[in-house]
Amino acid sequence: MDSNLSSNIPVPIFELKNVNKQFGSFQSLININLQIQAGDRVALVGSSGAGKSTLINLLNGTLQPSEGEVWVLGRNLASLRPKSLRQVQQQIGTIYQQFHLVDNLRVIHNINAGHLGRWSFLKAAVSLIFPRDVETAARALKQVGMLEKLYQRTDRLSGGQQQRVAIARVLVQNPIAILADEPISSLDSERSREIIQLLRQLSQDSGKTLVTSLHAFEYAHTYYQRIIGLRQGRILFDAPAEAVSPAMVEALYRLKD
């Protein structure tokens, strides 16, 4: 048992200690140290190639660090057996840029995929013919403002609607933390703002921790409490949104060193 689980000191939801991540000889993340606490709303910003997706994938255990430690909910992921790792991962919901939905299924089935960590294979398979737990799916779809689309085929929906389905799936999963990796980069600006507002509202209402990576800075300032700026694999700043100055943003996106 980890000693800090039994004490009253709140355990961070995420903690990275001296993390490096290499792909071959390329250093994607360099000496990353950070803590994210329960209920935090964090924007992870930086140019393409800065290391945002790599960091998100370390937080949800899809990737392992080359050096250093990734702690989630007070557990060092590298120390966990597969079953415990899956239990921790069940508490982390991820939303991706490309939605990761199955196009030719109806919306309800994509939303019910949020149960997959808990449902047996058989239950999940039977549910494809006789949908299970329609109420939970409908409630989640209502929360993202699309109740009327429950039985629509997913590929008939617009990009913004598909991203809402992906968010509804995460709501059904009901994790402690939501990671969103550039959730708006395939959407127009109107849809982008709506999705960012929706993520903020859902995380505020439920108290879920939210980490969103964003290529552009514009929404980070308005909708997040804390901004982590990544540049070429390093944390350039990690500050409350109101403390991030134009000069810091300029340094983050500057083309040359």
Ligand X SMILES: Nc1ncnc2c1ncn2[C@@H]1O[C@H](COP(=O)(O)OP(=O)(O)O)[C@@H](O)[C@H]1O
Contact residues for ligand X, defined by CB under 6 A: 23, 26, 28, 46, 48-54
The entry of Mg ion, ligand X, none that residue 50 binds, CB within 5 to 8 Å by partner kind: ligand X
Rounded to a whole number, what is the distance in angstroms from the first to the last CA of the chain?
A: 45
With contacts defined by CB under 5 A, name the span among 12-20, 51-59, 196-204, 244-252 that binds Mg ion.
Answer: 51-59
Nearer to ligand X by Cβ, of 62 and 206: the residue is 62
Is 53 an interacting residue with respect to Mg ion (CB under 5 A)? Answer: yes
With contacts defined by CB under 5 A, name the span among 46-54, 68-76, 149-157, 166-174 that binds Mg ion.
Answer: 46-54
With contacts defined by CB under 5 A, name the span among 22-30, 45-53, 149-157, 168-176 that binds Mg ion.
Answer: 45-53
The entry of ligand X, Mg ion, none that residue 48 binds, CB within 5 to 8 Å by partner kind: ligand X
Nearer to ligand X by Cβ, of 29 and 177: the residue is 29
With contacts defined by CB under 5 A, name the span among 32-40, 48-56, 136-144, 218-226 that binds Mg ion.
Answer: 48-56
The entry of Mg ion, ligand X, none that residue 28 binds, CB within 5 to 8 Å by partner kind: ligand X
Alpha-carbon separation of residue 94 from 79, 98, 181, 212, 228 (angstroms): 22, 12, 7, 10, 18
Give the DSSP letter string of the chain: --HHHHSSSPPPSEEEEEEEEEETTEEEEEEEEEEE-TT-EEEEE--TTSSHHHHHHHHTTSS--SEEEEEETTEEGGG--HHHHHHHHHTEEEEETT----TTSBHHHHHHGGGTTTS-HHHHHHHTTS-S-HHHHHHHHHHTT-GGGTTSBGGGS-HHHHHHHHHHHHHHH--SEEEEESTTTTS-HHHHHHHHHHHHHHHHHHT-EEEEEESSSHHHHHH-SEEEEEETTEEEEEEEGGG--HHHHHHHH-S--
Nearer to Mg ion by Cβ, of 100 and 142: the residue is 100
Residue of this chain nearest to Mg ion (CB atom): 53
Minimum gap (Å) between residue 50 Cβ and ligand X: 4
Minimum gap (Å) between residue 52 Cβ and Mg ion: 5
Nearer to ligand X by Cβ, of 52 and 106: the residue is 52
Nearer to ligand X by Cβ, of 28 and 89: the residue is 28
Residues lying near Mg ion in the complex (CB under 5 A) = 52-53
